[in-house]
A and B are shown apart, each in its own frame.
Chain A
Amino acid sequence: MARFVRPAGFVWVPLLFLLVAGACRPAQAPTPTPTPPPTPTAPAQPAPTPIAPTPTPVLTLPGLGAPTPTPAPQATPVGADIVPYAQVYSANPPKRFTEAEVRRGGTFVTDFSGDPPHFDPDLTTSYFMLGAVGPVYSRLLRPVWGAMANPYAPEIVPDLAERWEASSDGLTYTFSLRKDVTWQETPYYDFPEVEGKPFTCDDARFSLERDAKNATAFLVASVETITCLDAYTLRVTLKRRDPGFLPNLASSYAYIIPKALVEKVGDLRQVALGTGPFLLKEYKPKTSITYERNPKYFVTGVPYLDTYRIVIIPEESTQVAAFRAGQIHYTGTNLPSVVRDILRTHPKTVVHRFHIPAASFHIAFRLDKAPWNNADVRRAISMAINREEMNRLVYGGEGQTYNIGVPWPSAFDTLPPPEAFGPYYKYNPQGAKDLLAKAGFGAGLTADYVYYAYGDDRIQQSEMIQQYLAQIGVKISVQRLDYGVWTQQYLGQQWKDLALGFTVPAGGMALGYDWTYELMKCKASKNTWFICDPELDALLEKTVTETDPLKLKQVYRQIWEREVNQVYRAYIAQEVRYSLWHPWVRNTQGWTGYRFDQFTYGGSHVATVWLDDPAKYR
């Protein structure tokens, strides 16, 4: 035994000393190493035109004070630290900056809670995959990058396609592709038949054709033909008008991949080689993904960073601790209490608080079955929910009390006030009982209710729903499901009566269309709830044919009103999303819902993130 203990002691004493010494070092984030700017320096993208911010509901986060006001636009900034469409809390007033102020180099570190299943952008739609390959690939089109992007009206700009034209009937699109783009050259692969070779129309056509055969088939569901008119001109004809077509091409699903590489290796599960701002340097499963600046990126002057790293941390408390310890620069949460805790120890943290334009979580009904096909029963359920109390008890009053799954920016200029949601979104248990009696359920009814605990808030909400419904005589048997069972039951449309459902838009870039037509039209493949209302279908068809923006807004307003009136889904109070970053992280953007261009949904915008000197902010 003595022989065993003594050597261990010899080894451990100095090691313990080293570890303690390491632990006692002040917390320090990876410090950016300045590198000389490339010449000639040109703007990374056209200087953003200042956009009139859409007013957002003014809310205050108790204990934090008022949000920092949006600074007035200055002359020709290349970017800014603040999204004018969200509320930003920071001890450091956000500043706009010019190209000359940008500090190049350094390593930007953020976190994922899980691994990408693989790197093939067509074989899965896992958002970890989207986030992992986002910095490597480009699309034909993309959303505007950086802090000035408006998440309520996503603006699409050229990426690999320099410009595009649509025929007057909206059935033919012609894309002129960039001629100066080559596939990445990287020391990490050996594919001479691809690396450094020019990107051509053949690659774009191949990518769209491959989409049609895989998990990303929805991107090209309306496409009839894909033709290359020459090496740099792509023509796509559609079977029908499709307002989601261009936005889908700009979404993080629509990456353009190298044809020659797929032909050589079969699929892209283990390789990511594109035309994007970063080269995939190393993937260590369940540990980290490291990217290196692509020096030949076709957008001049970016990326500003030398290295971008995603660290995979499954546990949320560890993510927050790693943020505090300076090991990661950027993280997110739904919980105001977490934000407050971080601000107590790191008061200079930038906090970005965002209301997504359409609500996600709701009580889902099996609309194809009685009694849920009776609008009065659904209305009664909705009226039984005290949303204000739910917001107060679950989110400390910081969540969204009233919102529905039809995005308000498509129908209104601002988030409609509570009274606009009408009588069925108002807490009224007596009215609910009356409606149930009218529907023939005066003696009450029983139902099954299933949910998945995406977070503690879903558990609390489900318990509250059970109590609210009991008050009007609706007894629900609540069953919390494992994620695998949940996905099969909910997405597979196998749940029985009620579920704590969620709504995820189709492509994500076409706000109104993605959240309505593809989800609510009778027998649409993403219509999880069996919504089948001829009156609604007529309105949805108009969203496809109507080209006048004002009239289109009117149509969406009618859809919005029909949703709150018919209560196809009873939306509940839900969270707002907080993104947090250290103040020396510049020109980043917070989580902005389903724009699909922030870190977790394909982070090509990381090309314009830069790291200032942390010493300036201490």
Chain B
Amino acid sequence: MTAYIVRRLLIGVLTAFLVALFAFGVVRIVPGDALMLQIAETSPRLTPADLARIRAEMGLDKPFVPQFLSWLGGVFRGDLGNSLWTGRPVLKEIARTLPLTLELAVLGLVVATLISLPIGILSAVKRNTLLDYALRFVAILGLSIPEFALAIVAILVLSLTVHWIPPTDYRSLVEDPLTNLQQMLLPALIVGFAMSAVSMRMTRSAMLEVLREDYIRTARAKGLPDRLVIMRHALKNAFIPVITIIGLQARRFMGATVIIETIFALPGLGRLTLDALLNRDFVQLQGNLLVIALLVVLVNLVVDLSYGWLNPRIRYG
């Protein structure tokens, strides 16, 4: 087990490194740089000499390989460099924005689970009934409506009807828990709803498969009540594919946060990453991508390890 975890972690680190290398290269292929973007808004008079001097001060004039090696050396020392746009340390920016994104992820996951599990189970148990069709329709809806559309419509409807939207001046959970939850609930509901669609469909099909198994028939024959058969015997066994899907959705979730955090004016890692990309803030962007890659690797590792808890027959080798 320990050897398995160590091996997975090493693979994870290698994956993250390759992601970082890829990000480092790709963002530099795109034309435009942070300096041009900073001056573009007001475009004052700057001579080519002025531009060259400022660009050199920002470190934008160095060739690719020395830049990458210097950055990599920093990564091993725990220094991801300073943002080209703000001058602040990249790691500090990530540390500031990551808790919000994790909070949104946890809340989104809770919402998704609260929606998908009961509906998935119900849909499987009441297979091919009107209720099943209705619930599956809801799932299709969650899959079809993009998060950004749902978010904009939600904000519009709230502002037009009750003249209220989640407060835009963000407060952290520690600072002001009530305001924080007012700010996070709607985004979490939207992210959760979108995520729940896939999990719900997976729960339904996994449950359907398990419900046909001999041991379920045996459990029923023993006279166990339906609730116990489903919750104790069927659900736990149907859970492995569902958990796998939740793990895979971590990557999709990171994409969703970019949109959701922008629409709801939440200062999270997703928005930080989008802004870094738009501002050609390469240093911040590659730091963010590295952390996101590590997070996705970690979530998938946790998912893999949970298989053993769900089904003790599974062995790691």
Contacts and interface: CB of A to CB of B under 8 A. Distances in A.
Interface stretch (B7-15, B125-133, B158-166, B244-252): B158-166
Contacts of A309: 169
Interface residues of A, number: 73
A458 interface: no
Given A309-B169, A491-B43, A22 B178 contact: yes
B31 A485 contact: yes
A26 B161 CA distance: 11
Interface string A305-327: 00001011111011011101111
Nearest to B160: A345
A325 B169 contact: no
A63 to B, nearest CB: 18
Interface in B269-292: 271-272, 275, 278-280
A1 B120 CA distance: 15
The residue among B40, B88, B97 with the most chain A CB atoms within 10 A of its own CB is B40
Nearest to B264: A318
Nearest to A109: B169
B54 interface: yes
The residue among B33, B159, B280 with the most chain A CB atoms within 10 A of its own CB is B159
Given A18-B178, A318-B263, A345 B38 contact: no
B37 A484 contact: yes
Interface in A1-58: 1-2, 5, 8, 12, 15-16, 18-19, 22-27
A118 B58 CA distance: 14
B167 interface: yes
A206 interface: no
Contact of B182 (A23, A117, A284, A312): A23
B71 interface: no
Contacts of B167: 327
A210 B159 CA distance: 47
Given A19-B182, A19-B185, A321-B156, A506 B41 contact: no
B265 A22 contact: no
B235 A1 contact: yes
Given A285-B86, A318-B264, A526-B45, A23 B162 contact: yes
Given A284-B170, A327-B169, A317 B156 contact: yes
Interface string A96-135: 0000000000000001001101100000111110100000
A270 B169 contact: no
Given A324-B159, A485-B31, A25 B164 contact: yes
B234 to A, nearest CB: 12
B44 A253 contact: yes
A94 B272 CA distance: 42
B152 interface: yes
Interface residues of B, number: 60
B166 to A, nearest CB: 9
A438 B176 CA distance: 72
Contacts of B235: 1
Interface string B176-219: 00100110010000000000000000000000000000000000
Contact of A216 (B44, B85, B117, B162): B44
Contacts of B279: 117, 484
A179 to B, nearest CB: 32
B99 interface: no
B37 A286 contact: no
B145 interface: no
B39 A491 contact: yes
A156 to B, nearest CB: 19
A263 to B, nearest CB: 18
Contacts of B97: 286
B37 A506 contact: no
Contacts of A216: 44
Contact of B32 (A321, A322, A488, A525): A488
B262 interface: yes
- In the A-B complex, the 4 residue pairs with the smallest Cβ-Cβ separation, listed nearest first, are A484-B32, A286-B267, A321-B159, A218-B45
Given A313-B265, A325-B163, A488-B36, 16 more contacts: A1-B236, A18-B178, A23-B182, A117-B38, A130-B42, A214-B54, A215-B38, A288-B170, A311-B169, A314-B271, A315-B265, A317-B156, A318-B168, A345-B160, A483-B37, A526-B44
